[in-house]
Amino acid sequence: MLRQRSRHENIAAIMAIIMPVGMVLLFAYNAGFNQPKSERIIYVQSWSLDRTDAEIIAQQQKDKAAYEARVRERQRQFKALARALGME
């Protein structure tokens, strides 16, 4: 059948097959991007209502010290990476 048709008819037939197949493949490919994101759980610390100001300040100081320790550790890691890569 293809030998009896002219060249432009064969090209049109091939395009008529390729275009819908391509669209179906693109829809199938895009379906993976629209998946719902997983839920993010955020834990909140619960405090009693009868805490004193001194307890609050003490907890804030502990939290600040822990935060600063994390920052210093992260800086140390970046410095080690920079030394390993020869950036210093």
CB 35 within 8 A of CB 43: no
Residue 78 is predicted with a pLDDT of 95
* Per-residue pLDDT band at 87 (split at 50, 70, 90): confident
For the chain, give the percent of residues with pLDDT over 70.
95
Position 42 in a domain: no
Q: For residue 6, what are the CA distances in angstroms to 11, 19, 52, 81? A: 9, 20, 92, 65
Q: What pTM was computed for the model?
A: 0.48
Report residue 9 as tokens.
């008819």
- Split into its structural domains, the chain has a count of 2
Examine the domain organization and report whether 56 and 84 are in the same domain: yes
* C-alpha radius of gyration, the chain, whole number: 32
Q: Tell me the residue length of the chain.
A: 88
Domain range for residue 58? 52-88
User: Is residue 31 located within the same domain as residue 2?
Assistant: yes
The answer to whether residue 46 sits within a structural domain is no
> For residue 41, is it within any domain?
no
Residue 78 lies in a domain: yes
pLDDT at 15 over 90: yes
In a domain, 20, yes or no: yes
Residues 6+ apart with CB under 8 A from 88: 79, 82
